[in-house]
Amino acid sequence: MNLNLSKLLRSAPLWTLAAVVLLPLAMTLGASLMGASELNEHISPVVARGVSGQARMPLVPALPSIEQYLKLLLDNVRFLTMFWNSMRLVLPLVIGQLIVGTLAAWGFAHFRFPGRDALFMGYVALMMMPFQVMLAPTYLVLSGMRLIDTPWAIILPGMFGTFAVFLLRQFFRAVPTALTESARIDGAGELRIFARIALPLGAPGIASLFILSFLDNWNLIEQPMTFLRTESEQPLSLFLRRIGDGNVDVAMAASILTLLPTLLLFLYCESYLVEGIQLSGIKE
C-alpha cells in the first residue's frame, strides 16, 4: 500500500501538468460540439461588443451537435481547398527534407573533407536564426527565380532546412566506422553503403524527422503569408482565421479538423519518435 501511495504521489505532478496542457484541447473539442446559440451564450462577453460579464467554456456541451462539422465540410468549399493546399505543400517539403537531410547528414558524419566542421557550424548557426533574419535574402532569391506566389516558394527553402541535417548527423555518427570500412573492403560502393547500412540503422532518426517536420510545417504561418499572395494557394494554417468569420461554432470545428492529421500522426508514430530521441544521444 505504501509503495502504491508513493508512486501515486510521484506521478501526481505529471498528471496535473498533463491536465493543464490538455485543458485547452478539451475545451476546443467541447466547443466544436456546441450549437451556435449555446456557444455564443458562453463566450459572448469575449466576441460580442457591448456585452459585459465573464466568458466560460464548459467541457461538455448541453446539447451535442455535429451540425457545424457538416456545415464546414459540405457548405464551405474553401476549407477542403485549403486543406488540400496544406497537404500539397507539406508532403513534398517533408519528403524533400528527408532526402536532402539524409544525404547531407551522412556526408557530415562519415566523410572527411576540408572545412567540414566549419561548414557544419555554419549549418547550426543558420538553424538558430529566426525566419525574420533570413526573410529579405530569401525573398530576393525566390523573386529572382520567379517562384513568388507559387508552392515552390515554400517547398524549396524548406527542403534545405538545417534542422534535418543537425538531427540526422547525430544518428549517423553512431554507425560504427568499422562496419562501413568492412563494407568497403568487401567491394561495396558508397551508394550501396548508404542504402544498405546508413538508411536501415538511421531509420529511427528518419522517422523522428518525418514526424517533427510534418508537425512543424503543417502550422506554417509566416512563410505562406510572405511568399503566397493568391488566396486560393494559401494553406489551411493561414486561412483558418477567416473560415469562421461571424460563425464561431464553424471556427471551432475547423480547429479540430485542422489538428486531426497531426494528432493522428503523432499517436500512430509516438513509439518511433521516442525511440529516435533516445537513440540520438548514443555515441559511437
Same domain as 263, residue 174 = yes
Q: What's the pLDDT at 249?
A: 77
Q: What's the pLDDT at 97?
A: 92
Which amino acid is it at 38?
E
Q: Which domain holds residue 8?
A: 2-65
Q: What's the pLDDT at 284?
A: 43
DSSP string, the chain: -HHHHHHHHHHHHHHHHHHHHHHHHHHHHHHHTS-HHHHHHHHHHHHSTT--S-----SS-SS---HHHHIIIII-HHHHHHHHHHHHHHHHHHHHHHHHHHHHHHHHHH---TTHHHHHHHHHHHHHS-HHHHHHHHHHHHHHTT-TTSTHHHHHHHHT-HHHHHHHHHHHHTS-HHHHHHHHHTT--HHHHIIIIIHHHTHHHHHHHHHHHHHHHHT--HHHHHH--SGGG--HHHHHHHHTTT-HHHHHHHHHHHHHHHHHHHHHHHHHHHHHHHHTT---
Decide which of 65, 96, 115 is a domain's last residue.
65
Same domain as 86, residue 60 = no
Mean pLDDT (whole number) for 79-90: 88
**Looking at per-residue confidence, does 272 or 266 come out higher?**
266
pLDDT digits (tens, 9 = 90+) for 124-139: 888 888 888 888 888 8
Q: What's the pLDDT at 92?
A: 93
Same domain as 79, residue 30 = no
**Looking at per-residue confidence, does 68 or 276 come out higher?**
68
Same domain as 87, residue 58 = no
Same domain as 194, residue 120 = yes
Phi and psi, residue 33, nearest 5°:
-100, 5
Q: Is residue 12 part of a domain?
A: yes
How far the first Cα of the chain sits from its last, in Å, is: 44
Residue reference for cell 525573398: 139
Same domain as 54, residue 150 = no
Q: Is residue 159 part of a domain?
A: yes
The pLDDT of residue 100 is above 50: yes
Same domain as 179, residue 92 = yes
Same domain as 176, residue 131 = yes
pLDDT digits (tens, 9 = 90+) for 46-72: 655 655 666 677 777 877 888 888 888
Mean pLDDT (whole number) for 7-27: 82
Domain count, the chain: 2
Q: Is residue 284 part of a domain?
A: no
Give the pLDDT band of residue 283 (cuts 50, 70, 90).
very low
Q: Is residue 237 part of a domain?
A: yes
Q: Is residue 274 part of a domain?
A: yes
pLDDT digits (tens, 9 = 90+) for 137-180: 888 998 889 999 889 999 998 898 888 888 888 888 888 888 88
Q: What's the pLDDT at 74?
A: 81
- Residue 35 near residue 249, CB atoms below 8 Å: yes
Same domain as 108, residue 247 = yes
CB neighbours of 283 closer than 8 A, spacing ≥ 6?
173, 174
Phi and psi, residue 62, nearest 5°:
-70, -40
Decide which of 17, 46, 65 is a domain's last residue.
65
pLDDT digits (tens, 9 = 90+) for 220-259: 888 888 898 888 888 888 877 777 556 777 888 888 888 8
Give the pLDDT band of residue 277 (cuts 50, 70, 90).
low
The pLDDT of residue 282 is above 50: no
- Specify the CATH number for the domain of residue 148: 1.10.3720.10
Nearest Cα to Cα of residue 90 among 239, 207, 234, 214? 214
Within 10 Å of residue 147's Cβ, how many Cβ atoms?
17
pLDDT cut 90: percent of the chain above it:
7
Q: Is residue 227 part of a domain?
A: yes
Q: Is residue 232 part of a domain?
A: yes
CA distance 142 to 157: 9
Q: Is residue 161 part of a domain?
A: yes
Same domain as 91, residue 228 = yes
Which amino acid is it at 243?
I
Same domain as 61, residue 128 = no
pLDDT digits (tens, 9 = 90+) for 198-225: 888 888 888 888 888 898 889 888 888 8
Same domain as 260, residue 122 = yes
Decide which of 11, 32, 65 is a domain's last residue.
65
What's the whole-model pTM score? 0.81
CB neighbours of 122 closer than 8 A, spacing ≥ 6?
none
